[in-house]
Structure 1
């Protein structure tokens, strides 16, 4: 514990926790003999340094014009959409992959699952790297790398090559999903983050809903390779946005560059060994430890991961259900996933309404910035009811004597509850912990979420074949019922649970 705290202090001195410069007060002395200030008729470097206030500096992302901020959100949203659509756009290609590469059903699902696994592993490298070199290089490098690997996946004639390239594409795209929340926090102050954060988080949820629709039409009319080419079109759009309009948002990097330009003394970089040790602590060792020792992190990871995995199970199960029971064509099956899109939109509306009418009403009742994290749980509590309703509805109405419309509509409350649960639990976790512990807690969530989500589709068809549609889906419903009390328990006993934490948490 002591070693971790010491490392985090070094991390802060590096400037990665936005404490590198004290509003222009650091290094106000010691530069009087610089060439810029020696023979200048105008303001000296000392004058510029003394007058520099980071809070008022136009280069501070908080002070950017609204249009510039909106553009940055649009850029990261477009990349996040590309990353998420890649996870499900091949769900309709299983039969074609089986025929072309002579593989089994489980093997044909591997390109999808490996991509999802990579989404969980990519942030392990991309997150810390973005706090060293900045967010923008990670966005651009990941986007370019993901584009090239996706291009390779579309042209390969080797099944092993397809799996490797899909994994590498997901690994490159993944950091954009992990660091985007940090980007939004760096350009919007807390009071104004609600709307842009919610609208951004909607995009990676829309990807798994829209992509299977696109994939079904592309696979049926053009072949599975066009699913990869379609991703390239969206990659090109993101590149056209980020190259001319993308800007660095990480405060420590922006402040360092600004300080150098004004002649401030910049502290030397910390040793590589300390960086590596801190990286291993924050992104690998501590997330795993927190999953097993922190009730809030462990239960949140378990609940969110199981419901996310259920969503990804449907990428294999929905075609099986609607082609077996209702004899849907490939394109008709793809259209079923529009229900997921509808549910995500309704979930976004629910979260915004809870924020306006439930969370913000707590502001006058508590000291500034001291609202208990439990008030973030309203959407999760509401959404937890929609998850089992949707699953049991789907389980027992997917019958030939009942219209196909009923199981299609059943996906709406499930996806609505899933989005409400994910965003609410994430906000609760972020408000519960402080400093670099937040990164570890969210990293734990990402690793567990995508780990289970990649694994579930691999046995989905076998489960539905042996248990039947009714009981296989009901099994997923029973899991959601078992985990339903989690947000309710956190809401009622959250303060007591937080007090038991090994890390610093709010006492209010």
Structure 2
């Protein structure tokens, strides 16, 4: 057990350390097959795909109601436009709360139990939405269903940190970050036909059936990946076998009752939100982009049904355009981010730095505003329908590029606390996704599609330039000011 070989130079919390403590429980060797980073490649990707599908369900269910809002409003006698928008937005509000709880708890109890528990909560209350008799019941059930479905939003980055080395994370983040962004574009395509040919209740029942199927798959195939949990189990097993309390991990948490760890863990994301400049900056960047995404997606049906006079089922097909943008951006950035990371690392004498993720964010800064400009002005002048769709695809390419860089930056910086850091970003961006759609239609009513989307484009451009500049030129200084950053500069 006396080795000095880090699985990644910077990930000190996972090193095999040459110390004389014979009771320290760590990985048996740098190639220990029980270490999730050493699992077969196929097994690691199975874990990632299952978690990604869990992460897809919530955002997909959130946006599926958009084409059916008129039908739901008529059923529950909702006439106020804000109350109507709340059917969609209240789901996103809880996205700001759930990851702040599930992510730190996963750093105590492990990833698997939190993911599956969240999915069960979603299944129960999403089904209840289809059975709701009053608008109050609908609001409450949507809130609770959102709470369960948002659990993977805070655990995805942590799972990537568990399974992949820094050199491998680009592609993994490509898949994981695609899921919560692709969900809002897939949902309305499906629900547009539901709105035309059946009742809104099938929105909830169809997603419940699909979620139940995914949960069934997770029982035999989803494994625990969190190193603290796995090594803690190993220490407790040896203590029980030897009837002693001497065996311990480097975190020395085995002998502390788990309930005493809950409060400090729950406070960690809040502490990051209030004391960590890196997290605050990244969360603000993601909030602006996610808020604008949901503003556009929730007003998308209005453009096609009211301005282009298309049926809901046909209007829903236009969500394919932003979906294609997300997929294209995911594929492009997955390759680009890993190649630029390796190139910059080699130029830096083999030393890595989270700032090597910034170039992909800068690339997104070009596509996102440009796409909003194209979308806005082609919609204003009622060009052929392909015009707004091209713009929507473009800004989603930019969104995916920027998100990829930010998410990987946080994973590289906080490593074992990656789940908590991205939970903060998820919280802030979800608040933006809740708030932005509430004034989206008002924005277009006053400024029109042209200047309305141009304003959004300028906001994205300014915030992106500020974020890239601060991270590239000041990221090292910001990390040095923090006592929560796990990454250590060489």
State which drifts further: 198-207 or 183-192. Answer: 183-192
1:54 shift after superposition: 5.7
The equivalent of 2:66 in structure 1 is 91
Q: 1:183 aligns with which of 154, 159, 170?
A: 159
- Give how far 1:331 is off: 1.2
Give me the whole-angstrom Cα distance separating, in 2, the residues matched to 1:432 and 1:70.
23
2:395 to 405, 409, 414: 414
> What is the distance in 2 between the residues matched to 1:255 and 1:26?
16
What pairs up with 1:227-246 in 2 under 5 angstroms?
227-246=203-222
| Partner secondary structure for residue 327 of structure 1 | coil
Choose the corresponding residue for 2:457, options 455, 462, 477: 477
Instruction: Say which of 253, 268, 287 aligns to 2:273.
Output: 287
Q: Choose from 167, 177, 181 the match for 1:205.
A: 181
Q: Name 2:422's counterpart in structure 1.
A: 442
**Contact residue 354 and residue 378 of structure 1 kept, 8 A:** no
- Name which of 377, 385, 388 aligns with 1:396: 377
Per the normalisation by structure 1, the TM-score is 0.84
1:395–1:473 Cα contact (<8 Å) kept: yes
Q: Could you report, residue by residue, the CA deviation over 1:111-157 in whole angstroms, capped at 9, with x for unpaired residues?
A: 21111111121111111221222211111111111101111111111
The CA distance in 2 between the partners of 1:26 and 1:80, in whole Å, is 41
Alignment length (residue pairs): 466
Aligned to 1:155: 131
CA separation of 1:206/1:462 partners in 2, compared to 1, >3 Å: closer, same or farther? same
Cα distance in structure 2, aligned partners of 1:144 and 1:278? 26
State yes or no: 1:167 paired with 2:143. Answer: yes
Contact 1:394/1:473 (8 A) holds in 2: yes
Cα separation, partners in 2 of 1:426 and 1:188, compared to 1, 3 Å = closer
Are residues 1:66 and 2:47 paired? no
Aligned twin of 2:366: 385
Which structure has more relative contact order (CA 8 Å, sep 6+)? It is: 2
Q: Aligned equivalents of 2:19 and 2:475: distance in 1?
A: 38
User: Which residue in the other structure is 1:42 paired with?
Assistant: none
Q: Which of 432, 435, 438 matches 1:458?
A: 438
Question: In structure 1, what is the equivalent of residue 51 of structure 2?
Answer: 76
Checking the alignment, whether the CA contact within 8 Å between 1:495 and 1:507 is kept in structure 2 is: no
Q: Distance in 1 between matches of 2:140 and 2:22?
A: 49
After superposition, what is the alpha-carbon deviation per residue over 1:230-251, rounded to whole angstroms, capped at 9, x for unaligned?
Answer: 2112202211210121211112
Query: Which stretches in structure 2 are left out of the alignment for 5+ residues?
Result: 1-11, 249-253
Larger Rg computed on CA atoms: 1
CA distance in 2: counterparts of 1:190 and 1:221, whole angstroms:
48
Give the direction of change, closer, same or farther, for the CA distance of 1:261–1:270 in structure 2 (3 Å limit): closer
Supply the distance in 1 between the matched residues of 2:169 and 2:411 (Cα, whole angstroms).
13
CA displacement at 1:461 relative to structure 2: 2.0
Query: 1:476 offset after TM fit, Å?
Result: 1.4
Matched with 1:35 is none
Q: CA RMSD in A?
A: 2.8
Q: Deviations over 1:215-273 (max 9, x none)?
A: 11112211211111121122022112101212111122222323344436445432568
Compare 298-307 and 309-318 and name the one that shifted more: 298-307
Q: TM-score if structure 2 supplies the norm length? A: 0.87
Given the superposition, is the C-alpha separation of residues 206 and 141 from structure 1 closer, same or farther in structure 2, using an over 3 Å criterion? same
Gaps of 5+ in 1: 1-16, 30-48
Inter-partner Cα distance in structure 2 for 1:287 and 1:487: 16
Of residues 295, 298, 301, the one that matches 1:316 is 298
